[in-house]
Chains A and B, each alone.
Chain A
Amino acid sequence: VQMLQSGAEVKKPGASVKVSCETSGYTFINYGVTWVRQAPGQRPEWMGWINPYSGDSDTAQKFRDRVTMTTDTSTSTAYMELRRLRSDDTAVYYCAREVYSGPSGNEYWGQGTLVTVSS
């Protein structure tokens, strides 16, 4: 199982960023994809989860109006778009897959995408 994320981004406040997560080594539609971010020196923060089979998603309350998670089953790729960026959105963003197709802890992780928000 591999999860390969897109490269680092530098954005200005108010802009949007879209992070991709290309998966391989398993059947993409059988497992949800979780998005987690981690600001420097902070604990990881769960952002949301998407089911590639149904398209159903669940987003943490604080991100509901700024985050869109999508998937492309033809390329086994998940995407997370964060809009109206602020300086406190500076963090490493990770995609991850659970042990099995249900809440179970995230066993496989992407390498992380550093998003820096600065004017």
Chain B
Amino acid sequence: EIVMTQSPATLSVSPGERATLSCRASQSVGSNLAWYQQRPGQSPRLLIYGALTRATGIPARFSGSGSATEFTLTISSLQSEDFAVYFCQQYSHWPRGTFGQGTKVEIK
């Protein structure tokens, strides 16, 4: 089973600054990688799929990159509503839908 590992566990960032989140897969998942944002008490929100395609309605400050085993989510200029937990998910190999443990982006 593929293991998804995210780093760091917590990222402290000031509003307006850039945030860079990492996700590593234990084996290649190609470009079959999604990123989600989850605010407290809410359902996950799809940000990126196919490693780099923004989902409908997602602001351009969110961008994804990477392939195979190394992926990055970049938030170019953090807004107040961006402070949340972010999960990556692979959907390449069975069980399709393995999530990372999450990165919490908090206000510095």
Question: What is the interface of chain A, defined by CB distance below 8 A to chain B?
Answer: 34, 36, 43-46, 49, 58, 60-61, 94, 99, 103-107, 109-112
CB-contact partner of B34 in A58, A105, A111, A112, under 8 A: A105
**Beta-carbon contact of A105 and B43 below 8 Å:** no
Interface of A is mostly: strand
A43-B49 CB under 8 A given contacts A34-B97, A106-B34: no
Question: What is the interface of chain B, defined by CB distance below 8 A to chain A?
Answer: 32, 34, 36, 43-46, 48-50, 55-56, 87, 89, 91-92, 94-102
Chain A residues, CB < 8 A from B102: 43
Which residue of chain A lies nearest to B97 when distances are taken between CB atoms in the complex?
A46
**Beta-carbon contact of B32 and A103 below 8 Å:** yes
**Beta-carbon contact of B94 and A58 below 8 Å:** yes
Known A58-B95, A104-B50, A107-B56; further 20 A-B contacts with Cβ < 8 A: A36-B44, A36-B97, A43-B99, A43-B101, A44-B36, A44-B99, A45-B99, A49-B96, A49-B97, A99-B46, A99-B49, A103-B92, A104-B34, A104-B49, A104-B91, A105-B89, A106-B34, A107-B46, A107-B49, A111-B43
